[in-house]
Amino acid sequence: MNESFFGLNIAVNGLYSAQRSLDVVNHNISNVNTPGYSRQQVVQVASKPMALYDGTGMMGTGSEVTGITRVRDEYLDFKYWSENRTSGEWDTKSTQLTNVEAIFNEPSDSGFNKIMGDFYNSLHELAKDPSSPANRAIVQQKGVTLAKYFNSTAANFEKMQADVNDCVRIDVDHVNSMADQIQQLNRQIYTSELDGSTASDLRDQRTVLVDQLSKLVNIDANEVVVGKLPSGLDDKHFVITISGKALVDHFQVSKLALAPRTSQLNADDSPNLYDVKWADGNSLNIKGGELRGYLDIRDGNNGKVGLDGVTATPMYKGIPYYMNKMDQFARTFAKDFNNIHSAGYGYNDTAGGTDFFTILGSDDNPISTYDFSKMTYNDMTAANISVSGDIMNDSNKIATSDSNTNQVGNINTLNKLLDTRTDDNMFSEGAPEDFMKSLVSTLGVDSQQAKIFSNIQGSVINQVTNQRSSVSGVSIDEEMANLIKYQQAYNASARMINTMAEVYDTLINKLFV
């Protein structure tokens, strides 16, 4: 009699097991489009058997559900986080170097080569008639256009550096925010798993945050066993480190901070740049992620020593490198051009000695040759180069002759000025246009390299993502197959209960009547 009722209990256990499995299938299907969701599985085992009284063996007691597991490959998570930081770095560099290329705007009808060509063409026209006021006015205006090209380029670089600096600030805020969220999830997960359960959905939420965090900065994430719980289970703490120091240590968070830079690394740096440190004041070595990309673009000066006496962040050519190159061009070109120009004489100009290029004064107006003579060319930058106030006030001071006797046909000085266009000794790269071509070519190579690395990392990330999806992702086809399987198991258990009910009915109501 007891054994017959025991059979009913086995069927009921089977019913419950199938029902729990159907609930998990339902949960998986509902989250098929949830980002970061990991497929869950029921852990179903045979329940503890019962020894028969007559010693003939052990009788099975059916099945039971001992847990619900999260299907996850930790190696693929670690692989994704490792590759994602490299992807974040090169994606950032690729985007920002494209912006740098847009500032140079080469090749185009409004880039350096066109503007420089127009300036020298105006000098050629002046050589045809040095006494023409119209030709002199054109040279004056083309010189202004050339100077303003450098002024505008420098202003755009300064604005871009400030924008990248804001991106650094935003990323640091995101890192701190994610660290707080992960800390809160650590508390919930730890509390939920004290009884040996697996907080699968909470762990998925945490993994999504770590995925996002790994794109921003070089992190290492691990679950560390620190001892044993009273239940005998491992006491695990989730730790995220940046360059060896913990950002999140289980329930503790060490945040990043932005420290206003007290001294410039480079002469042309925008004001109010941030250095990224730990909130406790310790230095932070950022080796990857978007933050590394932004810092390289913002501060990279190809290893040149900055104004504070330290080497700028890494051997990378970022905004300061190109700003420095533009300053170098402005100083060198203006100095060589002025050396020839100041030795000549303009139309009806018996004094001579006029510089063609000077710098903008504090009032943003071009200073005179006299004021400029009190300075050095180190004071000249791409941001402040200008046609001199003397030339702006009187275009007749544009030097064409090497004599102060007003020889209209004497264009010896003008010919020397024209020769500067092909002066291969002006720069180590060659003539002025060669210098700029070399600079733009270098930028093009760096930009193309960043795009290639970005594409390579994108392919790697896609591959790892596909591998993760194949392990943890929800397959509708697979879940539908499981749905039918567990439905059949449920129906079979229900049928078994009906069968046992008929047996009991016959046994109780008919046999003993």
Segment 90-141, tens digit of pLDDT: 999 999 999 999 999 888 888 899 999 999 999 999 999 999 999 999 999 9
Split at pLDDT 50, 70, 90, the class of 511 is low
Could you give the CA distance from residue 286 to residue 282 in angstroms, rounded to a whole number?
13
Residue 385's H or E segment, with its range, is strand 385-387
What's residue 393's pLDDT?
A: 94
Q: Tokens at residue 218, please?
A: 């070089």
| Overall average pLDDT of the 468-478 stretch | 94
Q: Which residue has the tokens 């600096």?
A: 165
What's residue 286's pLDDT?
A: 93
* Mean pLDDT for the chain overall: 91
Residue 322 or 271, more confident: 322
**Concatenated DSSP letters for 160-221?**
HHHHHHHHHHHHHHHHHHHHHHHHHHHHHHHHHTTTS---HHHHHHHHHHHHHHHHHS--EE
Share of the chain above pLDDT 70, in %: 96
Segment 394-426, tens digit of pLDDT: 999 999 999 887 777 889 999 999 999 999 999
Give the bridge partners for 249, in sequence order: 239, 252
| Overall average pLDDT of the 290-295 stretch | 95
Could you give the CA distance from residue 120 to residue 403 in angstroms, rounded to a whole number?
22
Sign of CA dihedral 356, 359, 360, 362: negative
| Overall average pLDDT of the 266-273 stretch | 78
Among 66-75, 102-111, 437-446, 450-459, which is the least confidently predicted range?
102-111
- In the predicted structure, residue 213 carries a pLDDT above the cut 70: yes
- In the predicted structure, residue 312 carries a pLDDT above the cut 60: no
DSSP structure class, residue 507: I
Could you give the CA distance from residue 33 to residue 29 in angstroms, rounded to a whole number?
9
Q: Is 28 within 8 Å of 39 (Cβ atoms)?
A: yes
Cα separations in angstroms, 213 against 72, 280, 340? 19, 21, 58
Could you give the CA distance from residue 15 to residue 233 in angstroms, rounded to a whole number?
30
Could you give the CA distance from residue 329 to residue 95 in angstroms, rounded to a whole number?
26
- In the predicted structure, residue 310 carries a pLDDT above the cut 60: no
Q: How many CB atoms lie within 10 A of CB 366?
A: 24
**Concatenated DSSP letters for 400-466?**
-BS-SS--TT--HHHHHHHHGGG-TTSBTTBSHHHHHHHHHHHHHHHHHHHHHHHHHHHHHHHHHHH
- Please report, for the chain, the start and end positions of each structural domain, with discontinuous segments joined by +: 2-71+475-510
Q: How many CB atoms lie within 10 A of CB 471?
A: 14
Residue 96's H or E segment, with its range, is helix 74-104
- In the predicted structure, residue 307 carries a pLDDT above the cut 80: no
Q: Is 196 within 8 Å of 190 (Cβ atoms)?
A: no
Q: How many CB atoms lie within 10 A of CB 470?
A: 11
What's residue 468's pLDDT?
A: 95
Give the rounded distance of the alpha carbon of 451 from its chain centre: 13
Among 169-178, 282-291, 368-377, 449-458, which is the least confidently predicted range?
368-377
Residue 44's H or E segment, with its range, is strand 40-46
Exposed/middle/buried for 323, CB within 10 Å: 0-12, 13-18, 19+? buried
What's residue 288's pLDDT?
A: 93
User: Quick one: CA torsion of 460, 461, 465, 468, rounded to 10 degrees?
Assistant: 70
| Overall average pLDDT of the 320-329 stretch | 94
Split at pLDDT 50, 70, 90, the class of 1 is very low
| Overall average pLDDT of the 51-72 stretch | 86
Q: Work out whether strand 245-249 and strand 234-242 pair parallel, antiparallel, or are unpaired.
A: antiparallel
Give the rounded distance of the alpha carbon of 239 from its chain centre: 23
Q: Is the pTM of this model over 0.85?
A: yes
- In the predicted structure, residue 305 carries a pLDDT above the cut 70: no
Could you give the CA distance from residue 248 to residue 236 in angstroms, rounded to a whole number?
14
Q: Is 383 within 8 Å of 153 (Cβ atoms)?
A: no
| Overall average pLDDT of the 84-93 stretch | 96
What's residue 196's pLDDT?
A: 82
What's residue 110's pLDDT?
A: 82
Share of the chain above pLDDT 90, in %: 74
Segment 341-362, tens digit of pLDDT: 999 999 888 788 999 999 999 8
- In the predicted structure, residue 54 carries a pLDDT above the cut 80: no
Reference 420, options 127, 209, 90, 116; nearest CA is: 116
